Structure 1
């Protein structure tokens, strides 16, 4: 037998071993459990074939046949999918602590420095420590008030840039301006300076990395669902993850080094920024287990999550407004009544902009920040709604399906902010028919900041400009790109016509 023959035989034996181990895992004898309804599974892959390119949509269709609580086996990973608010409440409130951990996924491991960020760390003392630091140093009312000028300045810069670019009835690259707005705010709040100004090479590099980050965390990576083939990297995702992580690490190294070399005696900073606080916390012995990689992981979480989620929501909101022009008219009427056209809208005006708040809620309903939230994992076996849920079961909460559930929402597929005008439904995790930020222990810690960014950015865009499509005969592409978040597949471009006096830009 020649060398190629030996290689083929060896490869065949390896594949046979992998298949046999996978089948053993998939069909190993178990105590008879009363599992939730489940579609027929395929050998080896289980239900992976059901996911498709847009899993949130595919599983919504499957749930129409098998119900709002389904059991799937994704490769060798037991998974439950929830598509209804009442059932979601059972998992995220009644059994919140049981489902407070996170699954082990290759993208999360690589991007979060071995699960050391806020989003992907296991439920336990370390996670409580870093979440406490984030809440006390970034998201307190005092910190939000102190950073208000940053958000206002960046919102006005965005409007000024669009105003400079909208001459000649040309379509404006709204997508880039919205993402630049959120990126600059988060950078200034976390790092106390703008590392990523909207047109810099580093800003474009950072945006590409964040896009790759959210996409790769959401992809169906076969190695995550069958550990026996993970090392093969059949789809090439691990290679992409490591390349993006290397680029991100280069940025993080420079940021950490600059902060470590900062001389507090000559620094002009009015107060320490978030990285300063993390480094100080590490050195003063309060949290001695914080390594430099821990700090990088937490900072990456803050920068990436704060940039992508708010920007994507503003872009979806403006897109819906463009294809529902009466919404734009009502929002502008409210802005003219509350603010007028002789001054710029401010953060202090937001509580009075009730219709604008409804527009944002309706956007979260149809276009949730994360279609499956961030996946949860059970730490022990539990019984939910009379069904047995084994330990180490992954939980996918289909927030996209919950927002379009016809049993909850009248005319569920229509964009209608008016549905919230006389409603007490909120998005902060207490009303389970609408939980774009999650709920319970693992809810997003930056809900208040996220809501403020979306409302302020949208208010400035609507007060400053009349928005229209580049052609009256052109249909706006509303397709999605699946990942941990759900951005538009085609970046938004629109014609912006100024509606304020020139001196306000």
Structure 2
């Protein structure tokens, strides 16, 4: 009986493999096992982006994987990615339905996971024009980012010459920036207002739970049968977290409604993101700008903006600590352009091209998301000469592309000079896509570059930095949807003598 079962499985594997070749599907690693498919190939100790990069190196840059019940098109070729996001951009404009999206605030009404169509286009226009445009970022919230950078500087001054948990400091900083922009409140730091202490504690617990629950891919998305086993508890955790976040965001909306009622005559007061969105409820189609839509935008903004900015700042500082000559070159640029009688400002960032090169090189080596958020084909198409069936999930390994020795010279070397003369992230085309490409590229690129540029520039300008101990900073990567360091950054700093007078005025 066992022999017949083994023969049956072998016949299934061979028949499936031959069927893929006959149908002109992309290369498919052999064998694809029944039920689990190629999942056995990716459960390794290495970070997932490195594991999938090795698979692509072995089987080709256009690869078809069967991950449980999911058919996944894995790309690590700039030309294939260009084909998907130009010729077939509309075909791949949809998102797959996954639990990670639905239960962490990214449901069908959200900008990130909404199906491609009129609702998504309205959401995209709303966020791009009213919240994240350069004009809005400058007029509505530039002083918030400046204030929080000053608070971060003061925190470091208070801990000078001591070992500082930089990741914790950066996390508090980025979340304060985002929550102040979003709802006018700060929840981290010793100076959190007593009136919001309980609310701040709720928020901190919610964000900690988000990291614990949402740190990886949910097994139920590739093997739904697990729902009937103990894995169903994971889904319940997702649902419970989303309910908790939904209640918190609704409370923020109600609080901002009360604030708008009290200060309705004060047009000069800086408005929060929530207030801007609420004001559109009275001016536009209330059905579209209802509270549910605002909450989904807030959750996307909170999670996506924080992950991108926090990780990039931490990776950049780690790289600079390991490359003091590059740190000194960046400091010299700031000293020459800004001087010592004022702090770096967002408007100064255009005068600091080498600082921008450092940020772009950091994003090349350590993109915040090693994979672009998944897409899904809405109809059959071709990519790289292969037939791609309808309903195929598209996964782009941008880490593999941005670290490919066939594309980049000495790709593992931290070399900001390679970006000199490059105006923006998209000038390298599909070889460099830290913010994605096509219709569903990240609308928060301008905000992220402002936060990272201002923060990094201020830290370089104000402090002398050194590693903790003699060893180089550990650059090992953790596995997950967000590229984080295995060992959080710790460092020591002291105010620069030339900046003491200015720092004393904070």
TM-score by length of 1: 0.88
The Cα of 1:361 is off from its aligned counterpart by 0.6
Q: Which residue of 2 aligns with 1:119?
A: 112
Q: Does 1:83 align with 2:76?
A: yes
Q: Secondary structure at the match of 2:340?
A: coil
Q: 1:91 to 1:218 in 2, by over 3 A?
A: farther
User: Residue 125 of structure 2 is aligned with which of 113, 123, 132?
Assistant: 132
| SS of equivalent to 1:402 | helix
Distance 1:173 1:285, change over 3 A: same
- Partner Cα distance (1:265, 1:80) in 2: 53
RMSD: 2.6
- Displacement of 1:310 in angstroms is 0.5
Aligned with 2:490 (options 486, 490, 493): 493
Q: Which moved more, 1:431-440 or 1:142-151?
A: 142-151
Aligned to 2:151: 157
- 1:90-489 pair list within 5 angstroms: 90-112=83-105, 114-146=107-139, 147-166=141-160, 169-191=161-183, 193-199=184-190, 206=203, 209-210=206-207, 212-213=209-210, 216-217=213-214, 219-232=216-229, 234=231, 236-266=233-263, 270-422=269-421, 424=422, 426-428=424-426, 431-472=429-470, 474-489=471-486
- State the alpha-carbon separation in 1 of the partners of residues 92 and 462 from structure 2: 44
Q: Give the aligned partner of residue 68 of structure 1.
A: 61
Residues 431-473 of structure 1: CA deviation (Å, up to 9, x unaligned): 111100101110011111111111111001111111111112x
CA distance in structure 1 between the aligned counterparts of 2:203 and 2:427, rounded to whole angstroms: 30
Whole-angstrom CA distance in 2 between matches of 1:51 and 1:126:
36
Distance 1:218 1:180 in 2: 19
> Residue 89 and residue 233 in structure 1: after superposition, are their counterparts in 2 closer, same or farther (change >3 A)?
farther
- Displacement of 1:210 in angstroms is 4.1
Deviation at 1:251, TM superposition (A): 2.0
- 2 CA distance for matches of 1:126 and 1:272? 25
How has the CA–CA distance of structure 1 residues 139 and 238 changed in structure 2, closer, same or farther, with 3 Å as cutoff?
same
Query: Shift of the alpha carbon at 1:102?
Result: 0.7
Conserved in 2, the CA contact under 8 Å of 1:214 and 1:485?
A: no
1:287 Cα deviation after fit: 4.7
**Mind listing any 5+ residue stretches in structure 2 that lack a counterpart?**
1-8
Structure 1 residue 72: Cα displacement: 0.4
Deviation at 1:417, TM superposition (A): 0.9
Contact (CA 8 Å) 2:62, 2:384: kept in 1 or not? no
Q: Is the 8 A contact 1:371 1:399 kept in 2?
A: yes
Is the alpha carbon distance of 1:207 and 1:263 closer, same or farther for their aligned partners in structure 2, counting shifts above 3 Å? closer
SS at structure 2 position matched to 1:79: strand
1:203–1:266 CA distance, 2 compared to 1 (3 A): closer
Residues 86 and 432, structure 1, Cα contact 8 Å, conserved in 2: yes
Change (3 A) 1:489 1:115: farther
